[in-house]
Amino acid sequence: MRSPTRRPFSREQRLTIVQGMLVFVLVMVVLQLWLLTATMNAWLGGDDAMVWPAAAASAACLALNAGLFRYLVRIERAGRVRE
């Protein structure tokens, strides 16, 4: 059961969290870049089989990244309320 009085993360903890998130986000962005170039190359060559799956994968990466950023904003807001 969740404790009703959870302590917000300290600044050091938030820094560790944001660094962990950054690593994940960077990997996702590199994956998206690869997807974009591979899809563009295939599509210009007339191969359209991977266009929609690649778009879905890229959108999923964006959703993950945006979700992480939203979480970061939330914990930061909780810390600000504490201060």
Partner 1 sequence: MADTIRNPSGSGPIDPAINTPGREGLTGTAPADLYGPVFDREQVTIAPDFRPLDAQPAWRQDFPIDWPQDVYVERRDFMKFMVLTSATFALGQLWIALQNWYRQRRGQLPMQRVAAIGDVAVGGALSFTYPGEHDRCLLVRLTDREFVAFGQKCTHLSCAVIPRPEENSFYCPCHEGRFDLRTGVPTAGPPQRPLTRVLLDVRGQDIYAVGIEERTA
Among positions 17-36, residues that touch partner 1 (CB under 8 A) are 18-19, 21-22, 25-26, 28-29, 32-33, 35-36
10 Rama sector, left if φ>0, alpha if ψ -120 to 50, beta otherwise: beta
Asked if 52 touches partner 1 (CB under 8 A), the answer is yes
Burial class (CB in 10 A: 0-12, 13-18, 19+), 57: middle
Residues in contact with partner 1 by CB under 8 A are 10-12, 14-15, 18-19, 21-22, 25-26, 28-29, 32-33, 35-36, 39-48, 51-52, 54-55, 58-59, 61-62, 65-66, 68-69, 72, 76, 83
